[in-house]
Amino acid sequence: MKDNIQNMLDALTKGDKKVLARYISMVENESNDSDELLLRLKQNKNIPIVGITGPPGAGKSTLINSLVTNLLLQNKKIGILAVDPTSPFNLGSLLGDRLRMSNHFTHPYVFIRSIATRGSLGGLSAKVIEILDVMKASDFDYIIIETVGVGQSEIEIAGIADTTIVVLVPEAGDEIQTIKSGIMEIADIFVVNKSDRAGADIFVKNLEQLVHSHKEKSWLPPVIKTIATNNNGIEELLNEIARHQGIAMNTKRAFLLAEKAYYLIQNRRMNDVNKQELQKKIEAAIDLPDFNIYSFIKNY
């Protein structure tokens, strides 16, 4: 069995995409050998993880498609992890077809994988971290993670990405104050996509003013205008990603590892808590006259 694992690790390091897909499935499904595989991972610490988040409809998938097209022209190898929402009621995932990236599915330099959030309250689960680590053991030049852009997933992405890009659209206009403060804090780069739409210049100006109000930061997030559908602004965005990587890879590493360790420790300590079983026990106890949720969890 150890020889088997070593053979998988060797193939993974050489960029075997079939082995990568199998490895990810083992980790995602917590197979018998998954822990041993994770323990023996040898990651390439120089592979940057680029996180892309933002509200639904901002054009994140189209933007990624354009980024990948441009990176392929540079002969770069790209791994993409698309994080999809999971229903808190039936744990059914709405895994998207990623149709806008369909022209890259069969490219030998591109690997695309979707993963459900599995009911994680924040939107990102420990499995996302483990899968990203598996991908970092392969031969990619860039790894891109796209989040659903709802709830805490936007905030959590800052804990796993070297560079976090927040994608917005002009429709927000001068109501930029409504953007969650947490989003403003985690963005390394802002992208105003669909910038050919009315109100784009006003939106960009207001966003830049908001960015400049945080001058105490060592890195001032640039605001990039893009029209992803026709590749406008993509080269400038790639230049800003590269510029930020020169800083992030040196200054964010300890922070990112601490965040990752926190998520993983939290997940492992909660590993014996089954949500369905918990619900059944609550259903059995809820009508008792002295039922108290805090007493229930203390004795669980």
Query: Which three-class secondary structure string do you get for 133-173?
Result: HHHHCCCCCEEEEECCCCCCHHHHHHHCCCEEEEEECHHHC
Q: What is the CATH number of the domain that holds 231?
A: 3.40.50.300
Same domain, 30 and 82: no
Same domain, 216 and 283: no
Written as six digits, the tokens of 300 are 């669980």
User: What DSSP state is assigned to residue 100?
Assistant: G
| Number of domains observed in the structure of the chain | 3
Same domain, 16 and 71: no
User: What DSSP state is assigned to residue 232?
Assistant: B
- Helix pair 126-136, 17-28: axis angle to 10 deg: 160
Same domain, 237 and 114: yes
Tell me the CA distances in angstroms from 131 to 15, 28, 178, one per residue in order.
15, 8, 33
Same domain, 208 and 253: yes
pLDDT score, position 98: 53
Written as six digits, the tokens of 23 are 């490895």
Same domain, 35 and 50: no
Contacts of 275 (CB under 8 A, 6+ apart): 119
Same domain, 7 and 49: no
Integer distance in angstroms from the first to the last C-alpha of the chain? Answer: 38
Boundaries of domain holding 57: 43-269
Same domain, 291 and 172: no
Per-residue pLDDT of the chain (300 residues; tens, 9 = 90+): 567 888 889 999 999 999 999 999 998 888 888 888 888 888 787 899 999 988 888 899 899 999 999 999 999 999 999 887 654 444 444 444 455 566 788 899 999 998 876 555 444 667 888 899 999 999 999 999 998 665 555 567 777 899 999 999 987 544 455 565 566 678 899 999 999 999 899 889 888 888 887 666 678 899 999 999 999 999 999 999 999 998 866 677 777 778 778 878 887 888 778 888 899 999 999 888 888 888 888 887
pLDDT score, position 14: 93
Same domain, 50 and 93: yes
pLDDT score, position 99: 52
Which one of 42, 57, 75 terminates a domain? 42
Q: Kind of pairing, strands 49-53 and 142-146?
A: parallel
Same domain, 209 and 94: yes
Supply the pTM of this predicted model: 0.83
- Say how many residues make up the chain: 300
Same domain, 230 and 287: no
Q: Which of 111, 91, 84, 109 is nearest to 24 (CA)?
A: 111
Same domain, 58 and 184: yes
Tell me the CA distances in angstroms from 206 to 171, 176, 210, 291, one per residue in order.
13, 7, 6, 51
pLDDT score, position 143: 97
